Amino acid sequence: MSTLEIRDLSVSVEAKQILAGVNLTIKAGETHAIMGPNGSGKSTLAYSIAGHPKYTVTGGSVTLDGQDVLAMSVDERARAGLFLAMQYPVEVPGVTVSNFLRTAASAVRGEAPALRLWVKEQKEAMAALEMDPAFASRNVNEGFSGGEKKRHEILQLELLKPKIAILDETDSGLDVDALRVVSEGVNRVRATGETGTLLITHYTRILKYIVPDFVHVFAGGKVVEEGGKELADELEANGYAKYVGAAAI
């Protein structure tokens, strides 16, 4: 069973501290929701784990199955089993979705998947996400709608089968139908029991489709409250005000 352990993680951006001692443990098969107001550090946590150079780790540790994640390059983190679905996926002109996915799968698996089997695997995953087969021939995220970008992120998730998936506001910009399809994809991965999921969101609407095992409230760059699904319901009803005030003390 894979485990991501975050201990006393502190992170700065341009000398300004954003994370102030984050502690979190995510195991395979678990779904953790991180909720909090804008500017609380949720996305900073995601990108710091993934290795974005903009974020400087000033203290603490991140390990995946005992391995020092912070000592790894970005591509080493991906091959080790970390996956980040970005809030704003970038365009990759000149690279088709099909080539991108097969190249990524080859890097993660250590060898290129047999083409015949890969085409079948990709088609089945796309069908489950209600994606037009012609989508595979388009350039990565170029001209994609918000919903198409998010479906493509979940397509990667299903095909790459990471140990830990970090989903940064995957519900952002989705209509009701796209939210349902994307959530079903996340739940299929969750049902395997082989992937731990860290779901970052502002709102509870996605948690009606993806029911978390744990909910963590983020404020002031750290976790200030923890609980189950009932905590998300409380946040929906009362907002973040009391937690933001407590974090400022």
Q: Which residue is it, tokens 């709608």? A: 145
Q: Counting Cβ atoms within 10 Å, is residue 93 exposed (0-12), middle (13-18) or buried (19+)?
A: exposed
**Which pLDDT score is estimated for 244?**
80
**Which pLDDT score is estimated for 249?**
46
Task: Please give the sequence-ordered ranges of beta strands (E in DSSP) within the chain, or none if there are none.
Answer: 3-13, 16-27, 31-35, 56-64, 67-68, 82-85, 92-96, 139-140, 164-168, 196-201, 214-219, 222-227
**Which pLDDT score is estimated for 1?**
86
C-alpha span between 38 and 196 (Å, rounded): 24
- Enter the pTM of the model: 0.92
- Give every residue of the chain whose pLDDT is below 50, as ranges: 249
**Which pLDDT score is estimated for 60?**
97
